[in-house]
Amino acid sequence: MNSWSNPWLLAVLVPVLLALGALLYAGWESHRARRRRKIPKHWPLSTRSLTNSEEARVWHWLARAFYDHHIMIKLPVTRFTLPRNREQGMHWYRLLGGVYCTFTICKADGRVVGCLDVPGTGGIPRATRLLKHSLLTQIGLPYWVIKSGNLPSVAEIRAEFLGESITTQAMREREMEERAIIAAQANLRTAISRQRSSRQSDFSPLSNWSNSTTGVRSDYPSQWQEDNSFLMPLDSRKGDLL
């Protein structure tokens, strides 16, 4: 009698074979996973720029507009948001882990004051834009979408992001101009002092040689310094004012 025709034997062997097959498959999958996690000898990657040309133009403008803040690039919203219910933290992290804004403006202490997106050639999908606007505005952060060819004024964006009035912005700009003038004056005084010291050191050997050889006091060095009209400029190298 054929053993495979025995129903009792089949009832025992089938579960054993299925379990063995599942065990072998699990071992094979585990081996594949370990191979994927293994650090490669040669990474198949290359460096690239953080921004494209359109984003870079907006980035440079933001650096001037928010000269007293930090401009963070493509920062995920999960870096500066916190779930109110910790038990749901992983759920929201999975949902929002891939959501980021092109630029995030923050203070020196790391507190975010607002976010901006720079749309690409295809624009920003409506659902993505609504999600970011809803999320950020509800937690008290302004969210703007801007292009390099249609930038707002510095006063407008600082008023929205920082709550500054036009008067405050004007006073801040005036203060920056005054500081720049003071710094330029200090640099100029330093350059003049350095040049005077250099001239004195250059002419002192001539004066000593004249007095020591002739025994007669010579006014040639002082006349050279006072009357000569083709002395070198203060400094031939590029300075802070150039």
Does the residue 187 lie in any domain? yes
For 59-110, write each residue's pLDDT tens digit: 999 999 999 999 999 999 999 999 988 888 899 999 998 999 999 999 999 9
Report yes or no: 148 and 58 within 8 Å, Cβ to Cβ: yes
CB-based contacts of 45, cutoff 8 Å, min separation 6: none
Ramachandran angles phi, psi of 144, nearest 5°: -120, 150
Average pLDDT over residues 217-236: 43
Q: Pick from 115, 143, 164: which residue ends a domain?
A: 164
Tokens of 163: 């709550």
C-alpha span between 85 and 91 (Å, rounded)? 10
User: Does residue 84 sit within a domain?
Assistant: yes
Tell me the pLDDT band of 169, cut-offs 50, 70 and 90: low
In a domain, 45, yes or no: no
Identify whether residues 153 and 172 lie together within a single domain: no
Q: Report yes or no on 10 lying in a domain.
A: no
Q: How many structural domains is the chain composed of?
A: 2
pLDDT at 6 over 70: no
What's the pLDDT at 67? 92
Mean pLDDT is lowest, of 31-45, 108-122, 126-140, 209-223, for 209-223
- Cα–Cα distance between 176 and 196 in angstroms, integer? 30
pLDDT digits (tens, 9 = 90+) for 127-147: 999 999 999 999 999 999 999
CATH value at residue 123: 3.40.1350
Does 46 reside within a domain?
Answer: no
Tell me the angle at which helices 154-162 and 53-65 cross, rounded to the nearest 10 degrees. 70
Give the rounded percent of residues in the chain with a pLDDT score beyond 70. 72
Give the length of the chain. Answer: 242
Predicted TM-score (pTM) of the model is 0.57
Q: What is the pLDDT of residue 203?
A: 56
**Residue 142 sits in the same domain as residue 199:** no
Give the angle subtended at the CA of 47 by the CAs of 41 and 52, to the nearest 5°: 160
Q: Note whether 59 and 71 are within 8 A (CB).
A: yes
- Write the DSSP symbol of residue 41: S
